[in-house]
């Protein structure tokens, strides 16, 4: 198992995984008529830009040349504050492991590597909004509940 940061050569696999991840949770079939081609173009554009930026880090677990798990990290830079050095924090999203590879510790190895990387880079904290099913996974990997953020839902 190789754990590494994704490259542009991984884009096609990452797009397919994002598609599969989304459809896996589409229990009411809302997305059954969505065209993969339109999604592919939008996601390709996003990933191409993300992989060239210093804002996104997309981590993958690879086995025999196939990506089996991924985690996306976006760095959020805070406004500097007098009296202390301001470090960015990390927003974790799109945490996904292919169904056949779940329960084997792959996601935990991937998140452990990300935690080490974040500490080495002195990021202030990592934040994630887990699904109900994901809470135990994050708790097992050292994450804890914090105060709920506030939101203003502008698009529905």
**pLDDT for the residue numbered 33:** 76
> What confidence tier does 107 reach under pLDDT thresholds 50, 70, 90?
very high
Q: Tell me, yes or no, whether 39 lies in a domain.
A: yes
Rounded to a whole number of angstroms, the CA Rg of the chain reads: 17
Cα separations in angstroms, 84 against 8, 37, 88, 115, 123: 37, 48, 13, 23, 14
Write out the H or E segment, with its range, that includes residue 52: helix 36-52
Q: Tell me, yes or no, whether 145 lies in a domain.
A: no
**pLDDT for the residue numbered 81:** 85
Tally the domains of the chain: 1
Range of the domain at 76: 2-140
Write out the H or E segment, with its range, that includes residue 56: strand 56-63
Given a cut of 90, whether residue 60 has pLDDT beyond it is yes
How many other CB atoms are found less than 10 A from the CB of residue 17? Answer: 20
Q: What is the overall mean pLDDT for the chain?
A: 91
CA geometry: angle at 109 spanning 128 and 119, to 5°? 60
Given a cut of 70, whether residue 156 has pLDDT beyond it is no
In this structure, what CATH number is given to the domain that contains residue 50? 3.40.630.30
Q: Tell me, yes or no, whether 153 lies in a domain.
A: no
Higher pLDDT, 132 or 26: 132
Say if CB 116 and CB 90 are below 8 A apart: no
Q: Tell me, yes or no, whether 156 lies in a domain.
A: no
**For the chain, percent of residues with pLDDT exceeding 90:** 63
Q: Tell me, yes or no, whether 149 lies in a domain.
A: no
pLDDT (mean) for 10-29: 89
């Amino acid at each position: 198992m190789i754990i590494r940061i994704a490259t542009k050569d991984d884009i096609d696999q990452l797009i397919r995984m994002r598609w599969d991840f989304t459809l896996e949770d589409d229990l009411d079939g809302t997305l059954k008529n969505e065209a993969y081609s339109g999604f592919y173009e939008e996601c390709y554009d996003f990933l191409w830009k993300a992989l060239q930026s210093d804002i996104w880090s997309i981590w993958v677990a690879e086995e025999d040349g196939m990506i089996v798990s991924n985690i996306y990290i976006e760095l959020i830079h805070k406004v500097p504050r007098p009296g202390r050095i301001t470090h960015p924090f990390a927003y974790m999203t799109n945490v996904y492991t292919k169904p056949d590879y779940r329960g084997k510790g792959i996601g935990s190895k991937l998140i452990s590597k990300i935690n080490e990387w974040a500490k080495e880079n002195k990021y202030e904290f990592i934040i994630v909004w887990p699904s109900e099913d994901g809470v135990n996974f994050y708790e097992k990997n050292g994450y804890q509940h914090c105060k709920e953020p506030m939101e203003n839902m502008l698009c529905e």
